[in-house]
Structure 1
Amino acid sequence: MLPSLYYLVPVLGGYAATSYYLLKNPHILHRRKRLPFYCRHISHRGGAGERIENTIAAFDNAVANHTDLLEMDLHLTKDGHVVVSHDGSLLRQTGHDVNICDVNYEDLPQYKETLEVTFLPGHMSSGNDRQIPQLEEVFQRYPEMPINIEIKTDCDELIKKVSDLVNKYQRTERTIWASTSNPVMKKCRKENPDMPFMFTPRRGIILLLLYYTGLLPFVPIPESVVEIYMPSIINRTYFPHNQLMRNRFLVRLQDKIMMRKGLFRHLQARGIQVYLWVLNQESDFQRAFKCGATGVMTDYPSQLHRFLQQYEGEQRARGPEPQEPAEEEEQQHRY
């Protein structure tokens, strides 16, 4: 046993030292991704706390508050229109118990006059615009705005039509594939492999395993964006339906495992942006950026805009802190 340790200890020590060095210097093994956008301010469903979610009015409000990225969800109507809506069933949003896939576009009901904010229960949003928009209308209205589109159903026709619209409006590099389903994401990538895409939850678990085993610096990553929830918002502003996810011990454990500044810095050094969702309180904005997140996804675009003005102003007043080369480049790109 003892002789084998003479070999094992140096090997493990060498592995750990090499892994740590490459974690800090990923450019040695990996070419850095270069997205044409860098997002600090992301508007969830267009800013569902200030206007009716996923409406043109919400997107207009987000853009007016200097958002860097619009996040939205897509479904397909019975007559083949790609529409922007979070739910496939319209009961919560409109009060009508129908599915989008069973209704022609012209027959879609309007949103309710007020909607509860999903990630801040008890708070309501309202607005005059209650129309469910088409994705094409969004692309026409915001030709240069980066957009994160989540495919909500496993529907080949939906994926194909979304890809066709992205190509039609020449926004391949500014539109992110998003899905919580691995099979759906594979179909999206096959349909349009040139679009950047996010980690699915399953891929996110693999990412954490690679990080904690020291393998991450050696492994290529095809994704361009990490979008994860910040566990500390659970039981405060986010109440998952799964009771297990609301267990306080598991929440604290997730927070310890996921909110790793070293991981976020490594990803950013490889050109992979990290967005934390859905944060609706200033203290959560503060913590997200302190943890090293690239950007914050919020239901309150004006609140996040005000925070960033103050936060970035304070950073400039303190003077530049020592940064990794990748971080310096991103700051130059932003300003």
Structure 2
Amino acid sequence: MLLLEPNQTLWLAMGIVAAIVGGYALTSLFLLRFPNLLHRKKQLKFCCKHISHRGGMAEGLENTMGTFQHAVDLGTDMLELDVQLSQDGMVVVSHDNDIKRTTGVDVKISDTKFADLPLLRTNQEVSFLNGLPVCFPDASDRSFCLLQDVFEKFPGVVINVDIKNDDDELIAKVGELVQEYHREDLTVVGGRQESVIRKVHQQNPDIPLFFSAKRVVQLVLLFYSGLLPFIPLKESCLEVIMPSILWGERWADTVPTKYKVLARIVDFLLMSKVMIRHLDRRGIHTYLWVINNDTDFERAFSLGAKGVMTDYPTQLRHFLDQREAIDKK
């Protein structure tokens, strides 16, 4: 029997560990480049460059049919919207349940019948322009709308539905509407809470999902640990903030320095071209939000994003048209 000296045993153990770690790292890097050796590539029926956030809330009253129509007329690829459940069980398109911000009336959608909801006020604030006030005195459409109205009006447009609350009735009704209007190939559904994603997926596995906040954190941890290439993902879209917007000129004087530092750290970790490229190879689209100027449009697409969500659909249309014209030269 061969006996090893203590120092030889140590070196042998170190060699074995190095071989295992090296093999794992090489395999991870290889599968990062060729993920379809393990995972079937997702086949989404859409690819959206131009996404109108709440319909384009800097150009019209947010989440209204009039604003959605404006974005569609510009040729938007996707309408992003949010849903709440009214007291009488209607799926209402609204970011907030408490609608004082948008109507000036201190009521909640969940406590109000749809027919009794107040009109939207004509002056609003654009959240991702640091609360920049905008006013639409000539707005002809000031009414809340229903998700089914949007599905009926825009049957060929991709709709991104953000379910704001973990409400079983709301989740079930969204899924039923997607099925009723045969929109499984043209609708992305999700929410910040992982429980919402799980319930949507259980109800209808064919509906494309976007990552919840918790799953975004898990995704980043999996990527930097090298585990991501080995892990199956049920989601089809990564929809995340591009943190660099927080130190742009619109926010320069209002965001505390400590938050800007945190945003730079998150930006470094989250805005990885390698991770975005890996997801793309797996058929998972990356959409960045909420981006409202040409400089940030350019950065988002340079990172490998499939598309961007904007409050300014007209400006994004001009940017994409100019970009396409340059590419043709």
TM > 0.5: yes
Structure 2 letter corresponding to 1:102: D
Q: Distance in 1 between matches of 2:247 and 2:121?
A: 26
Q: Distance in 1 between matches of 2:135 and 2:238?
A: 28
Structure 2: which 5+ runs fail to align?
Answer: 1-9
After TM superposition, give the deviation of residue 313 of structure 1 in Å: 2.5
Alignment-derived partner of residue 27 in structure 1: 36
Q: Say whether residues 1:90 and 2:99 are aligned partners.
A: yes
Q: Distance in 1 between matches of 2:250 and 2:112?
A: 31
Alignment-derived partner of residue 124 in structure 1: 134
Q: Which structure has the larger Rg?
A: 2
Question: Partner of 1:72: helix, strand, or coil?
Answer: strand
The 8 Å contact of residues 190 and 196 in structure 2, kept in 1 or not, is answered as no
Q: Distance in 2 between matches of 1:190 and 1:266?
A: 26
Alignment-derived partner of residue 80 in structure 1: 89
Structure 2 letter corresponding to 1:82: V
Q: Distance in 1 between matches of 2:302 and 2:320?
A: 13
Equivalent in 188, 197, 201 of residue 185 of structure 1: 197
Alignment-derived partner of residue 14 in structure 2: 5
Q: Say whether residues 1:14 and 2:20 are aligned partners.
A: no
Alignment-derived partner of residue 7 in structure 2: none
After TM superposition, give the deviation of residue 2 of structure 1 in Å: 2.0
Q: Say whether residues 1:210 and 2:222 are aligned partners.
A: yes
Alignment-derived partner of residue 167 in structure 1: 179
**CA spacing shift, 1:137–1:237, aligned 2, 3 Å:** farther
- Of residues 50-59 and 23-32 in structure 1, the stretch that sits farther from structure 2 once superposed is 23-32
Alignment-derived partner of residue 206 in structure 2: 194
- Of residues 282-291 and 181-190 in structure 1, the stretch that sits farther from structure 2 once superposed is 181-190
Structure 1: which 5+ runs fail to align?
Answer: 318-335
Question: Partner of 2:81: helix, strand, or coil?
Answer: strand
After TM superposition, give the deviation of residue 194 of structure 1 in Å: 1.6
After TM superposition, give the deviation of residue 187 of structure 1 in Å: 1.7
RMSD: 1.6
After TM superposition, give the deviation of residue 6 of structure 1 in Å: 1.6
The 8 Å contact of residues 278 and 299 in structure 1, kept in 2 or not, is answered as yes
Structure 2 letter corresponding to 1:122: L
**CA spacing shift, 1:246–1:162, aligned 2, 3 Å:** farther
Q: Distance in 2 between matches of 1:43 and 1:174?
A: 15
Equivalent in 36, 41, 47 of residue 38 of structure 1: 47
Alignment-derived partner of residue 229 in structure 1: 241
The 8 Å contact of residues 74 and 84 in structure 1, kept in 2 or not, is answered as yes
- Of residues 246-255 and 263-272 in structure 1, the stretch that sits farther from structure 2 once superposed is 246-255
**CA spacing shift, 1:314–1:83, aligned 2, 3 Å:** same
After TM superposition, give the deviation of residue 245 of structure 1 in Å: 10
The 8 Å contact of residues 123 and 133 in structure 2, kept in 1 or not, is answered as no
**CA spacing shift, 1:97–1:118, aligned 2, 3 Å:** same
**CA spacing shift, 1:123–1:149, aligned 2, 3 Å:** same
* Aligned residues between the structures: 314
Q: Say whether residues 1:268 and 2:256 are aligned partners.
A: no
Deviation string 1:241-286 (CA, Å, 9 cap, x unpaired) is xx89962221111111111101101101110000000000110000
Alignment-derived partner of residue 61 in structure 1: 70
Pairwise mapping of residues 90-109 of structure 1 onto structure 2 (< 5 A)?
90-109=99-118
**CA spacing shift, 1:246–1:98, aligned 2, 3 Å:** farther
4+ runs deviating over 6 angstroms: none
Q: Distance in 2 between matches of 1:20 and 1:108?
A: 54
Q: Say whether residues 1:294 and 2:295 are aligned partners.
A: no
After TM superposition, give the deviation of residue 168 of structure 1 in Å: 1.1
The 8 Å contact of residues 43 and 299 in structure 1, kept in 2 or not, is answered as yes
Alignment-derived partner of residue 52 in structure 1: 61
Question: Partner of 1:42: helix, strand, or coil?
Answer: strand
**CA spacing shift, 1:267–1:131, aligned 2, 3 Å:** same
TM-score (normalised: structure 2): 0.92
Q: Distance in 2 between matches of 1:139 and 1:146?
A: 9
**CA spacing shift, 1:55–1:171, aligned 2, 3 Å:** same
Q: Distance in 2 between matches of 1:114 and 1:177?
A: 29
**CA spacing shift, 1:246–1:74, aligned 2, 3 Å:** farther
Question: Partner of 2:128: helix, strand, or coil?
Answer: coil
**CA spacing shift, 1:30–1:244, aligned 2, 3 Å:** farther
The 8 Å contact of residues 84 and 109 in structure 2, kept in 1 or not, is answered as yes
Alignment-derived partner of residue 326 in structure 1: none
Structure 1 letter corresponding to 2:73: A
Question: Partner of 2:287: helix, strand, or coil?
Answer: strand
After TM superposition, give the deviation of residue 238 of structure 1 in Å: 8.0
**CA spacing shift, 1:138–1:211, aligned 2, 3 Å:** same
Alignment-derived partner of residue 3 in structure 2: none
Q: Distance in 2 between matches of 1:253 and 1:115?
A: 32
Q: Say whether residues 1:141 and 2:153 are aligned partners.
A: yes
After TM superposition, give the deviation of residue 308 of structure 1 in Å: 0.7
Alignment-derived partner of residue 188 in structure 2: 176
TM-score (normalised: structure 1): 0.90
